[in-house]
Chains A and B, each alone.
Chain A
Amino acid sequence: MATRLLQIRGTPIWAVLAGAALAALVLGTLAAVALRAGGLTGLRETDLAAIRFTLWQAAASALISCALAVPVARALHRRRFAGRGLLISLLGAPFILPVIVAVFGLIAVFGRRGLVNAALAPLGIDPISIYGAQGVIVAHVFFNLPLATRMILHGWEAIPAERFRLAATLGFGPAEVTRHLERPMLRSVLPGAFLAIFLVCLTSFAVALTLGGGPRATTVELAIYQAFRFDFDMGRAASLALVQVAISVAALLIAARATLPSSFGAGHDRRAAPIPQLSGGIGRALFDALAIGLASAFLLFPIGTVFARGLPAVANLPEMVWPATLTSLVIALLSTVVTLAIALPLALVATRQRWAEIAAMLPMTASSLVMGTGAFLIARPFVNPTSLALPMVLLSNAALSVPFATRILMPEIRTLQADYDRLAASLGLRGIARLRLLTVPRLARPLGFSAGLTAAFSMGDLGVITLFSDGQTRTLPLALFQLMGSYRMDQAAGAASLLLILTFALFWALDRAGHHADPR
């Protein structure tokens, strides 16, 4: 009891503020919408079907993404080859693409006229279809496999090299390595990865609709949209948004119970070079090659086709695209700063106090439509909301990235605290000094990865800009969408390529910066 009290009293004020801000953003805006509607409205029969479909597809997508990510991450961990670092960065690309661009890439590969069916046709194999529930899941795996792979790979890299060496000395075979080193690590990383992906898929809207093939693939987010757009029933929108938050928090609590710290103890910071006898024989090598090859093909082909199609049009982009590009870049960098300023203190507390973890995950449970509308209602009496367009975009992008950043930081923070808390305490290392000398350097990798992800995510997000835009201010994704809406599909493809290049460059630069800052 005494220790618990001490912990709460010792909670840094910064973390408390960050948590409160996030809760206000998600629950406050929801409350604003519900208040304006004069209360909540009952759900309909079709809403229940939407909830069922949403849960089912999110769970399936998360399960498949995680299951596929394990062999890919393991292969990437134990193999060394030229271009490995670049490949790992490249594999992250799908996650950060605007949905519509990614969907077009997938269609170019798996669609009726796509590469896969073109290759199958001469062999006399029936064409495969990407439309329907399988399409939704393929797209969600495409988006999230990279995230899962990176989270799991981080887990592998966090196992100290000494453990692998010890295992080799003890004559462990691959099976024993799996049992004693890999399985405990997966136990600590997988629930978090599953949860993050489940939550992403929960609020999916455009993917489910475009590839779902029709009304059977209705998600809660679409039901919210319908309640707003056609029924102007804000009470029902608020009810649905509340359901979405409740599902997410329930998932969060379940995942929290399933998570265990891996607690390998501190190592000597040597990079874990693969040890041949632990990596198995030629069979394992082939299997690893296959895992890396298939994952690369699956993730990179759709992106390559989008890129190849749009690149020639980049030179002829209308002038309007360039200020939009600059706006997007500035927003991306600023929201990265905000995200890390919120995520790091929360993640540091979250390993010991559950509330911080829940607060950090809240933004992902929010419907962006409800959040934007709520913010609009709250801001309206004080200022003209259109003058808040860019700050709102910045803030919402930052908030939406906090859950990812926190998830990525938490496993390493847990290890850090298990390994260094006592040493730091005995040295009296506290506050800013501890942050500067111990925490930030040792978290450089996940911080760099989080920053890259946030910046890239923010570049590609369409989100609230459409609610707050004043028509003159636009981001690159909005410009892309406007080009499509004006029949300029080729220029839109050009804008998509530009977005792809910049997004990836940002992601790569920040991720690499993290690697370079790592003292190990």
Chain B
Amino acid sequence: MDILIVILFAITLLYFSITERFRIYTNLVCFQGFLLFALALFELKALTIGNFLFVSSETLIFKGIAVPFLLYKIINKTGEERVHVKALPGLFSLIFVSIGLLLSIIIAYSLKTRLGNITYFIVSFFALYTGLFLITSHKKIFSHLIGFLVIENAVFLFSLTIGNEMPMLINIAILLDIFASILILGIFAMRLKQHTDDLTMLKDE
């Protein structure tokens, strides 16, 4: 069952590359949060209550609900619905991301890791690649935010690869990262909007 979740995760990453609407990005981020929650439940067999609360709050509450909620807020406030006109066309990003998929499997296999599940390893590499790709190929700051969240998910997935002994510290760090980034960016995006028209863009043209 866990393999199905990882596959779905990989397919959402492919979907990230072709979609052009911020609402779909947000839905995908939300969906990934739920997937990660399910995956964590499957993978972390010996969950203590504290650990369970922590993981569920991190994946379900934050990644699955709070962050998408915030993102929706930003979309509604700024009225930015789509990626920049000059962003890379979907077809090419799809091809690049597919190449990334192949690259990540080659890398993961060359490393020949003894660390747990290789499928997780590949997909987390792939997520890392996709996140970086989203950031480099898009122009609007919203897409960069999404890329950042995808990278966060990649790190989470990577920590799952290690298995049960997920250090609490990493978890907290990830959580704080998300928290800070979303809050700051959300505030920025909403504040800046009031003064000029198009400041959700990182650079002009």
Instruction: Say whether A associates with B.
Output: no
Binding site for A on B (CB under 8 A): none
Binding site for B on A (CB under 8 A): none
